[in-house]
Structure 1
Amino acid sequence: MITEGVWPRAITAPTGTGKSNVVDVHVFANALNAVGQGPRVPRRLAVVVNRRAIVDQHLVHAAEIQQALDAPDRPEILAAVQAALAGLAEPLGSSHGDAPTLSVVSMRGGQPSLLEPEGVQRASSREWLDDPRRCMVICATPDMWGSRLLFRGYGTAPLARPRDAGLLALDAAVIVDEAHLSHQLLTTARDVSALSHAGAARLDVPALQVVSTTATATNSTPVGDQVVTVEARDIDGDGRDPELRRRLVGTKSIKRIISASQPASKKAGAAYVNEIAERAAALRHEAGTARSDAACTIGVIVNHVATAAQVADRLRKFHGLTVVTWVGRMRPMDVEEMGAAYPGVFTVEGSPTVDALVTSQTAEVGVDLDLAGMVTELAPASALVQRFGRVNRRGRRTDAVVEVMVPPAPPSTDRMPYLRDDLVASYVWLQEIAARGGDASPWGLSGPTAPPLPVTKPSRLAWSRVRPSDADLLSSTSLPLFQEPDLAFWLRDDLTAETAMVGVVVRTLPIDDASAAALIVATLPVDREILPATITTARAVLERLIGSGRDDHERIFLVAADGKTASPQRDGDAISTQLTPGAMVVVDADHRLVLEGVLVDDVPGRLARLKPLEDHPEYVVLGGADAEDLLAVTDGEEQDELASERLGMPSTVAASFDTEGDDAWVVLVPKDAVLKDESIRQELTASSQGVHLEDHCRDVAERAQRLGIDLGLPGDLLAVLYAAGIWHDAGKRDRRFQKYRLLNTTGPLLAKSSQRPAWKVRRERGGLPPAWRHEQLSAALAWLALSGDLDESRRVLVARLAGTSHGWGRPFFPHGSVGLADDTELPGSLAASRALFDSTAWHDVIETTEALYGIWGCAYLEALVRAADGTVSKEGH
């Protein structure tokens, strides 16, 4: 990595050896490159893992690095790294001045969150893409990262998707953590890497580098020079590391517990739940009396979320233990609250006040815990190895015990989510380990004398491949397809409905459906408040709510994928049909939905309510009399004054719903936050004079070129970026656009207006044909102006970047030349429009540019132009 600028193909090392330090390596390698002491390396590192809790752990680790780099009292070495990274992305304007040295992004549901220096996660679906030069760490789940890589980002507007794809595929690396859980995603990532390689080489930036990491290496795990692993000499050789040795050979023993009550199917009965709780309580008593450690928390890992909730409930009620339940299907805000209530419980230090940590597969992999002991259900051998790794992780205990609940005989049926063959192999493997003395240390399970680890049977017969034809289809983002491709084939190891996830959000909503739906759209759910659930569970729970007999709350709001609508549903069969993978639903907050913070299908009397997210970092919602008072003011400036007084800073009304009764509401937003919405920034500015079109295009051209220079792009492409910036808004010269969209009738041509509140600007459509886009006219004007250019490939690429600068034209625009241009104002524009859009010429433009730079390479160049335009607009010019 440090010498060649290329990540290894795989990292295979036992649990506890520090594989999460890939983030540290990424940061340091970029710093070396910045000062000329190392090769060009990818600027963006995505750490992707199929466990939400582990995504959060990686996020915490990256946040600690971010804060350490920018701390005023940082050590000399960190100061040097900080200065080097800052040199990669020197401020180009006011929009960059307060950004942290290291950008940290979370993608695990809802809108991506950008981590601010104070550790606050702020919903920022697009802002994380504003500066492609920055060193960045992205912590993501497979669905969230993979869907964006494939131009189909869950929860993103179609026109915004190319930016995500371009910046995740080029000048980027991905660590597929615990890769044995994500075979399909790994295959997809490597296919995209191969497809984007030629284009990346032309751009002189790294193509996507793909690294698999796992603590459970098998015969199918890559070996060779491109693999980093632990060898025997690291444990017993002359250069052995004492800390590494202690972690890998620390005492840990396995005890098989024969359970006659273990269920033959998924659902755990009361007797089995009680048996697990009894074993856990006894193990906790032994851990507490045998040692004087400050933290003697024992772990309980079961195979189903519902079982975890029931075991935790029983340990608390019948054994008097202090219990924390931690599963991936919990809201991040609830996990944060537990972490605050029990400091250290989710870390290797532990919490001295917690007796038991009850979890499902959430804590199975990647989570840095050092438990005093564990009770676990039987699972495939690879899963058990991971679970064992959470016990005595630092090797400082001398009597750590892991109890595995096993049936009297090898399983005879599948016990979902695991297959019979995998469970039988694990059963036999455990017997062999017990016969060898029960050593469950990491080296005992992975070293040269360890019993072979059974290979888990794939849940699919074959892995899907991303072919060029698939990439061509997926990248067609500007118009809806007749049939949207099912991303599950490229992202998921398991295609059963049980593994597909949806998000459930609780809100305190107006009674009126229209008011409630409008409020949801105006304040779209953020990751912290989203309760993940399988489609199967969500359907059962939502059907129960619809059939509850409560007329006032028999509704569920289904949020559209693009976030533009939220439709109330009152038909159980309809909601079951429409609840597809990645869907988002919002329900009223007074329903009983959860057991131990988990959505379960159970008797309401056993369930609890979830409190809604109250303090949002970006907006404030006023309802009732407060909203009516503000809406009664018709003067825009006076209304803004009242909003500013309410928030204590310059503010505006970003959205509102005016109705009789108590269902009126307004959303107040700081004025500087309004312009973070890219669709608003296209036509609105905070400047009282507006922004002149010529000045804006020049500034965007210079910014785009500067980005290209700092990223090391070839000289011919720097000229292309400059020209694309000059032409990207040329279509705004149309006087109809100036008059009806920017309210400019007599003055010089404007790029942005200052005359109307943002939400009214977006609604204004008069005077222009339906679906008219200034970018389409921009492409035609660029095509006309560059007709004499000797380099036809330059002309084609500039026209493409001008036309696709806001996501349209991929591969078509909504209409042809009719009504697009006016020759009286812009001579020659009509002929250029006919040449491009009334024939196959525009399609040829798309194909020609993608043949040169690849599908992802073109998306990358579009992202640079969009970043330049967005940041210049944010700065008000």
Structure 2
Amino acid sequence: MTGLPSLDKRDFSAVFEAVHGHPPYAWQQRLLQEVAGSGGWPGGIAAPTGAGKTAVLDVALFHLALEAGKSPRRAPMRIVLAVDRRIIVDQAFERACRIRDALALATDETPLGRMAAWLRALSGDKPLHVAELRGGMPLERDWARRPDQPTILCTTVDQLGSRLLFRGYGVSNSMAPVHAGLLGCDALLILDEAHLSRAFEETLAAIARRRQAEGSLELPWRWTALTATPRAAASQLFALTDEERAEGPIARRLNARKEIELRQAGKGADAEAFADKAQALRKQLADRGQMAPVVAVVVNRVMLARQVFEALSQDADADAILLTGRVRPAERDDLIARWRDRLEGLIHDAARPLFVVATQCIEAGADFDFDAMVSQIAPLDALRQRFGRLARSGNRGDMAAPGIIVATKAETGKTATDPIYGRAPAETWKWLWDVAQQEGRKKVVDFGPDALDVLIESNPPGEGCTTPAPSAPPLREADLAAFAMTAPRPFPDPDPAPFLHGNFRDDAEIGLVWRGDIEAMLERLVHADARDDALAGLTELLALLPPRPAEALRLPLWAVQQWLAGGGAADKPLADVPASPDKAEDRGGERARVLRWRGRDDVAHVLPAKLRAGDVVILPAKCGGCDAFGWAPESTSPVSDIAGRAAAPYAGQRAALRLHPAVWPEGATPWAEIAVLLETGAGAAEMARATGLSGWREAAGVTLAQPYGNDPTVGVVLVAPKGLAEGQTPTEASLSATEGDEGLFGSEPLLLTDHACAVAAMACRHAKALGLKDDLVVTLATAGQWHDDGKADPRFQLWLRSIDGLPGDGPPIAKTAARASPARQRELRAAASLPRSWRHEVTSVRIAAARLTQGQAVADPDLLLWLIGTHHGHGRPFFPHDDDWDAHEMSLLDTPLPPAPGPDKLDFDWNGADWAGLMERLRARYGLWGLAFLEACLRLADHRASAGEVE
């Protein structure tokens, strides 16, 4: 990396100010100095709410720029921030986007431009990639496109933890090792609000202890906990000094006064009681002259929040919104965008008051600034987080910010036990009542950060006032060995949830997606004579327009099963933190079946009892259950179909438009005109022009698909395989990896030798940019050169060429330009005598083993074979392969292949080890995550080459 401009630690302040418009706080500068000096990170970072703790992202990225080009590099390539909440406003993600955009526009003459140049030199592409995982789905992996790209990833404990343990929620089995490798090597994992995630904190510590062999790669991996209440030992803790806490903006937030009144209700506090108290606070502020305040109501259950919202919505003189974590991201973004200035306290002269009703989702990651707040009784740490959003930037004038804590006798009695918080609310109430100041007839506690610290220090509340934090089970070698088996998974299959949330929590989630155009197809599924055709049509439709995270509502598995069983009102325990209510009964029967989607190759009509974490359920819009504010199980109104909007960011490379009356977009050509064209059999290009939709009028190579059935008047789907017009380039999200048979299709036929050279060059580039040792660089490049050699099998060539109608002779090809339906592919495969259970990777391993036996040298032949065998995600540790030809002598690519078992057979032998034994040998050499990372280096090179990228 010669010829790059100079950059040193003194540039951090100028870079920070160029991005954010103000210099860093003193503690942020000190953290950078310590991290850059030692190359490591403290075990914990104690930063009070409002002290700018998300600046750890700036520190980590600047450290990476400083370390770029050094060998070994001490700063990780990927910076991952995770929090155990369904975040309403992901402040960290927005900050990361701001950094990314500033770097992209910076000039080399400035400190920020020099930082961008060093980051860009790592990937040879862009300085920074930013991604957000807010609910995994198959094919959603733009963040995992290349291993040498500086990346900031904002996510949740579920998404990070499940991926790290090779069981990524919503990640296919074949891609699980790639995600695990990228997060288990060359990554900095930052656990935000770590006091919420004791179990995962313990699991991260256990993983750190297990990562011994990964050191052979000489790639950095770190993790740290970010919280106001850390458990790290003092020697491992980075904390603000008194001088740093006294810095202007920080001190103003810490010194804010928040007078919170304790109110004990009698029999119970229903929605009306919370609404009345919110109105009382509104009046109190009006008496002070603040006529349009923002008053928050925070409760512990999603359904109670909705009821309070409905009560406050009756006020014709005020606005009300509902914020929970149980909302579709696209609608959440609309809601926040509309009210952002009010929520963040940027407008104090609005025309109308605003009531914000919320759940625990605002306790972390939400940079809100309310004028007053009502809260349901909760553990002390939860209350502290909630009231941290009250007067967050400091008091308005000389008056203290008002608030109310409401508790009922049922919540505070001697035998009270909450399904989520246990005894903590009752113990917290007792402590608050004892330490509160008597002000006339009121009991008041100052929840200002500094004032509450003093109160806690002088009157320790005890562990009973803290949210229950179950410990993680021990992470044993046997657990890790089982997790590493991804293809196929072992039986019994270990559950990652206890390692993320502790033993007694049940937080397995699935996604609900509503579509308006599938009702008739779902109805045909219950008829035996139409079932196969209907399922094939649904499969094709979902392949053309797959579910996207922006349209998916994430819910606990138990809540969905309960609702599907007819328990619409029985889900009151639902909150925005993990809970363990009773399971719903499975009522069985055909009517209870739902459409489950696990990717294009796994669409099934199953009973709810067959659902598992990470699944996506596709529902007809008419079934209700959701509105603009999220989960509404009592609602029977049709749910809006937002699939088109959710797919918009992916349209640069490939786009699909449903011509169906149930989903035809407003503002397009009237449906009656489209229906006439369908009846007259208009062609795809004519239909695209007639839609009146921007982009589709000029789209090239448009085709028509008929997943709804043979009658085009019912509806068709327009497909633009090269994306929409208007000069768009593929978005980062649209650059997908290749899996299964999708990897066989390209824009034109591709020679096997050309594809192999491209993959080898990509793999070599990845390895060198990462700073891997020369032996590993050569091994990865050789694996790239040989990985697809099994495709030279004459039966495979006959099948692939027949798809495109190519002559049967000629040099071997790796890809074909034509596409065929799955049924047509199976038909042509049988005609070519290619067994259905045949994997080219197995043959590629046999060819490579033969070459090595004949004397071709490579630094690590064990690793070479492993990388070739697993480059499509199979072989961990078994292959879905069965071929009689393996028992006969043959020759491929001028390499004689004697009749011998391949890696799919138990009697395969490579230097005294079968394939599973080879896995153990390599795991001891490179580590569980190190081996997966090396697989990712090759596989992502294959994906990029298959997508047409070049170096």
| TM-score strictly above 0.5 | yes
Letter in 1 for 2:760: A
**Within the alignment, does 1:469 sit opposite 2:478 as a pair?**
yes
**Within the alignment, does 1:686 sit opposite 2:747 as a pair?**
yes
Q: How far 1:78 moved relative to its partner?
A: 2.6
Q: How far 1:809 moved relative to its partner?
A: 1.0
The answer to whether the 8 Å contact 1:350/1:370 transfers is no
Picking from 246, 253, 257, the partner of 1:251 is 257
What residue in structure 2 maps to residue 648 of structure 1? 698
Q: How far 1:794 moved relative to its partner?
A: 0.9
What residue in structure 1 maps to residue 642 of structure 2? 612
What residue in structure 1 maps to residue 667 of structure 2? none
**Within the alignment, does 1:660 sit opposite 2:720 as a pair?**
no
What residue in structure 2 maps to residue 794 of structure 1? 860
The answer to whether the 8 Å contact 1:48/1:55 transfers is no
Cα distance change on mapping 1:585 and 1:12 into 2, 3 Å: same
Q: Distance in 2 between matches of 1:556 and 1:518?
A: 20
Cα distance change on mapping 1:261 and 1:230 into 2, 3 Å: farther
Give the match's secondary structure for 1:782: helix
Q: Following superposition of structure 1 onto structure 2, how do residues 477-876 of structure 1 map, counting pairs within 5 Å? A: 477-493=486-502, 495-497=504-506, 499-510=507-518, 511-513=520-522, 514=534, 515-516=537-538, 518-544=540-566, 557-568=594-605, 574-575=607-608, 577-594=609-626, 597-602=629-634, 604=636, 609-615=639-645, 616-617=647-648, 618=651, 619-624=655-660, 646=696, 648-653=698-703, 656-657=706-707, 658-660=709-711, 662-671=713-722, 676=736, 678-679=738-739, 682-687=743-748, 690-743=749-802, 745-756=808-819, 765-766=829-830, 767-787=833-853, 794-815=860-881, 818-820=884-886, 823-826=889-892, 827-831=895-899, 833-834=901-902, 837=905, 839-840=907-908, 841-875=914-948
The answer to whether the 8 Å contact 2:498/2:505 transfers is no
Picking from 286, 291, 294, the partner of 1:297 is 294
Letter in 1 for 2:273: E
324-333 or 434-443, larger mean C-alpha shift = 434-443
Letter in 1 for 2:385: Q
What residue in structure 2 maps to residue 260 of structure 1? 266
Q: Following superposition of structure 1 onto structure 2, how do residues 125-204 of structure 1 map, counting pairs within 5 Å? A: 125-199=140-214, 201-204=215-218
Q: How far 1:277 moved relative to its partner?
A: 0.6
The answer to whether the 8 Å contact 2:45/2:224 transfers is yes
Letter in 2 for 1:729: D
Picking from 99, 123, 142, the partner of 1:89 is 123
The answer to whether the 8 Å contact 1:149/1:168 transfers is yes
What residue in structure 2 maps to residue 97 of structure 1? none
Give the match's secondary structure for 2:357: strand
388-397 or 855-864, larger mean C-alpha shift = 388-397
Q: Distance in 2 between matches of 1:249 and 1:761?
A: 71
**Within the alignment, does 1:452 sit opposite 2:478 as a pair?**
no
Cα distance change on mapping 1:566 and 1:824 into 2, 3 Å: closer
What residue in structure 2 maps to residue 357 of structure 1? 356
Q: Distance in 1 between matches of 2:244 and 2:180?
A: 40
The answer to whether the 8 Å contact 1:501/1:535 transfers is yes
Letter in 1 for 2:565: E
Deviations 1:344-375 (A, max 9, x none): 24435368455121100011223111111111
Cα distance change on mapping 1:601 and 1:817 into 2, 3 Å: closer
Q: Distance in 1 between matches of 2:567 and 2:380?
A: 39
The answer to whether the 8 Å contact 1:151/1:165 transfers is yes
Give the match's secondary structure for 1:213: strand
Q: How far 1:482 moved relative to its partner?
A: 3.3
Deviations 1:616-661 (A, max 9, x none): 2133333359699789999999999999994523345496424226
Deviations 1:722-748 (A, max 9, x none): 111111111112111111124452111
Q: How far 1:463 moved relative to its partner?
A: 1.8
Q: Distance in 1 between matches of 2:686 and 2:905?
A: 46
Q: Distance in 1 between matches of 2:783 and 2:71?
A: 33
Cα distance change on mapping 1:637 and 1:782 into 2, 3 Å: farther
**Structure 1 segments unaligned to the other structure (5+ residues):** 92-99, 113-123, 264-271, 548-552
What residue in structure 2 maps to residue 277 of structure 1? 275
The answer to whether the 8 Å contact 1:11/1:228 transfers is yes
What residue in structure 1 maps to residue 527 of structure 2? none
Cα distance change on mapping 1:179 and 1:876 into 2, 3 Å: closer
**Structure 2 segments unaligned to the other structure (5+ residues):** 1-34, 439-443, 523-533, 570-589, 661-672, 724-729, 909-913
181-190 or 637-646, larger mean C-alpha shift = 637-646
Q: Distance in 2 between matches of 1:664 and 1:677?
A: 30
Q: Distance in 2 between matches of 1:176 and 1:579?
A: 29
Aligned-CA RMSD value: 3.5
Q: How far 1:531 moved relative to its partner?
A: 1.5
Cα distance change on mapping 1:86 and 1:772 into 2, 3 Å: same
Q: Distance in 2 between matches of 1:597 and 1:539?
A: 21
Q: Distance in 2 between matches of 1:516 and 1:288?
A: 56
Deviations 1:453-490 (A, max 9, x none): 54356757642132222111111112243333222222
251-260 or 785-794, larger mean C-alpha shift = 785-794
What residue in structure 1 maps to residue 129 of structure 2? 103
What residue in structure 2 maps to residue 402 of structure 1? 403
Deviations 1:8-49 (A, max 9, x none): 211222211112222222221112222669952111111111
Deviations 1:787-808 (A, max 9, x none): 2559787111101101111111
Cα distance change on mapping 1:816 and 1:38 into 2, 3 Å: closer
Q: Distance in 1 between matches of 2:927 and 2:943?
A: 24
Give the match's secondary structure for 2:436: helix
Instruction: State the TM-score, normalizing by the size of structure 1.
Output: 0.86
**Within the alignment, does 1:416 sit opposite 2:418 as a pair?**
yes
Give the match's secondary structure for 2:885: coil
Count of residue pairs brought into register by the alignment: 825
Q: Distance in 2 between matches of 1:367 and 1:303?
A: 17
Give the match's secondary structure for 1:176: strand
Give the match's secondary structure for 1:299: strand
The answer to whether the 8 Å contact 2:511/2:617 transfers is yes
What residue in structure 2 maps to residue 78 of structure 1? 112
Cα distance change on mapping 1:509 and 1:567 into 2, 3 Å: farther
**Percent identical:** 29
The answer to whether the 8 Å contact 1:185/1:492 transfers is yes
Q: How far 1:198 moved relative to its partner?
A: 2.2
Q: Distance in 1 between matches of 2:920 and 2:87?
A: 42
**Within the alignment, does 1:229 sit opposite 2:228 as a pair?**
no
Give the match's secondary structure for 1:825: strand
430-439 or 322-331, larger mean C-alpha shift = 430-439
Q: Distance in 2 between matches of 1:347 and 1:48?
A: 22
254-263 or 156-165, larger mean C-alpha shift = 254-263
155-164 or 664-673, larger mean C-alpha shift = 664-673
The answer to whether the 8 Å contact 1:540/1:601 transfers is no
416-425 or 450-459, larger mean C-alpha shift = 450-459
Q: Distance in 2 between matches of 1:234 and 1:364?
A: 24
Q: How far 1:233 moved relative to its partner?
A: 4.1
Deviations 1:94-123 (A, max 9, x none): xxxxxx5321112111438xxxxxxxxxxx
The answer to whether the 8 Å contact 2:704/2:718 transfers is yes
Give the match's secondary structure for 1:682: helix
Q: Distance in 2 between matches of 1:130 and 1:821?
A: 38
What residue in structure 1 maps to residue 17 of structure 2? none
What residue in structure 2 maps to residue 96 of structure 1? none
Letter in 2 for 1:446: D
